[in-house]
Amino acid sequence: MFKFKLQKALEVKEREEDKIKKELSENLEILKIEENKLESINIEIENTMISYSEIKKGILNISLMNSFEIFLRKLKVDKEKQVNNLISLEEKIQEIKDKFLEIRKEKKIFEKLKEKTYEKYLVEEIKKEQKFIDELSNTMYNRRK
């Protein structure tokens, strides 16, 4: 019966790989949400700029214009923060991907080792069977004499 001595290590790598996959998936979902937030900010900036342009065409209202300018500055600050959040998140995702690739590589090494060990085991089993058959044949031949 085949028993791989490093099976526990292989199982640990498989669990680590699953954990990293889950972490990567969660962070990719967060990235989508954060990208949507940035898109919303960009749309709000665009709509505010259109409204601001319309107000400038009419009767000048200084307090309203100041309000628009303050709001636009706030939106631009929000946009800058969101862009920085996205950059940080993308860096984190890249680190997770690198870690995932490393763990997958280590797991593949264990799998190859298991495969080679199993092939060696099969060869040994075939040799044992052949030896048994040879001994059986010898015994039967000797009995016939």
Structure tokens at 143: 């009995």
Residue from 122, 117, 108 nearest 13 by CA: 108
Please report, for the chain, the start and end positions of each structural domain, with discontinuous segments joined by +.
7-144
Query: Does residue 58 sit in helix, strand or coil?
Result: coil
Distance CA 10, CA 59 (A): 74
59 in the Ramachandran plot: left (φ > 0), alpha (ψ -120 to 50) or beta? beta
Note whether 38 and 7 are within 8 A (CB): no
Considering the entire predicted model, what is its pTM? Answer: 0.75
As a whole number, mean pLDDT of residues 23-43 equals 97
Across residues 112-123, what is the average pLDDT? Answer: 96
What gap in Å lies between CA 54 and CA 48, rounded to an integer? 10
Token pair 């040994």 is at which residue?
Answer: 124
63-100 pLDDT, tens digit per residue, is: 888 998 999 999 999 999 999 999 999 999 999 999 99
Q: Which two tokens stand for residue 7?
A: 């099976």
DSSP category for residue 103: H
- Collapsed DSSP state (helix, strand, coil) of residue 6: coil
Give domain 7-144's CATH architecture: Orthogonal Bundle (1.10)
What pLDDT shows up at residue 143?
82
Confidence of residue 145 (pLDDT cuts 50, 70, 90): low
Measured CA distances, 143 to 35, 47, 133, 139, 140 (Å)? 84, 102, 15, 6, 5
